[in-house]
């Protein structure tokens, strides 16, 4: 019993130390993070908003980044940028997918449920375009505004442009938020999110997805 208590305290101190190191790293890497972000390209009006998920907590609550994406989509909808929202994300926690959790956030902000479509299968960025495409075609959509985490947006833009080319008018908006605990560890800090996206962006290019 005593050994378990000591082990627990040691693990707790290690996690606190890691959290502190990541906070310092986030501050030191702020110039790099700002350089890596893409500029927003906001239109006056598009046929559809597409919100890209960014993880859930183990109990099914939205991670801070997913919450920010859903709220940015809802705000854009309510400001009149579009009359339709598609939420993507098939990662499941607490019995709900990311897409379903984001939809609930948007509805809570006043977006009508009938104006929200869900894509609940994709769990990787390169899954989004081909799985969203049938929804776009069935709704006759020719222009979209893609909303993603500010550090994910560069990779998302490259992958969507590669898939759709000139067949779809695309604009991009960033969701800014704090980072924090989520079942997908890459979102626990700006530092982990930055290096994850740089690495997976390079991988996407090697694989021909971007």
Write the CATH number for 111: 3.40.50.620
Model confidence over 19-62: pLDDT tens digits?
567 778 888 888 888 889 898 888 889 999 999 998 888 888 99
Query: Which range marks the domain in which residue 129 is found?
Result: 2-207
Tell me the average pLDDT of the chain.
87
161 φ, ψ (degrees, to nearest 5)? -65, -40
pTM to 2 decimals?
Answer: 0.87
The length of the chain is 210
| Total number of domains constituting the chain | 1
Confidence of residue 182 (pLDDT cuts 50, 70, 90): confident
* 11 band by pLDDT with thresholds 50, 70 and 90: very low
In angstroms, the CA 118 to CA 116 distance is 7
């Amino acid at each position: 019993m005593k050994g378990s208590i000591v082990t627990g305290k040691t693990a707790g101190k290690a996690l606190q130390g890691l959290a502190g190191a990541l906070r310092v790293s986030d501050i030191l890497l702020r110039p790099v993070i700002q350089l890596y972000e893409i500029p927003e390209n906001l239109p006056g009006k598009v046929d559809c908003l597409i919100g890209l998920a960014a993880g859930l907590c183990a109990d099914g609550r939205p991670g801070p980044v997913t919450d920010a994406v859903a709220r940015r989509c809802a705000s854009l909808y309510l400001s009149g940028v579009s009359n339709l929202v598609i939420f993507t994300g098939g990662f499941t926690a607490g019995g709900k997918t990311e897409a379903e959790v984001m939809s609930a956030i948007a509805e809570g902000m006043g977006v009508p449920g009938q104006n929200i479509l869900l894509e609940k299968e994709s769990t990787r960025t390169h899954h989004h375009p081909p799985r969203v495409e049938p929804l776009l075609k069935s709704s006759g959509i020719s222009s979209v505004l893609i909303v993603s985490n500010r550090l994910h947006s560069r990779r998302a833009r490259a992958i969507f442009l590669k898939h759709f080319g000139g067949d779809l008018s695309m604009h991009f908006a960033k969701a800014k938020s704090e980072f924090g605990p989520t079942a997908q560890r890459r979102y626990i800090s700006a530092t982990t999110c930055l290096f994850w996206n740089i690495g997976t962006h390079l991988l996407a290019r090697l694989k021909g997805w971007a």
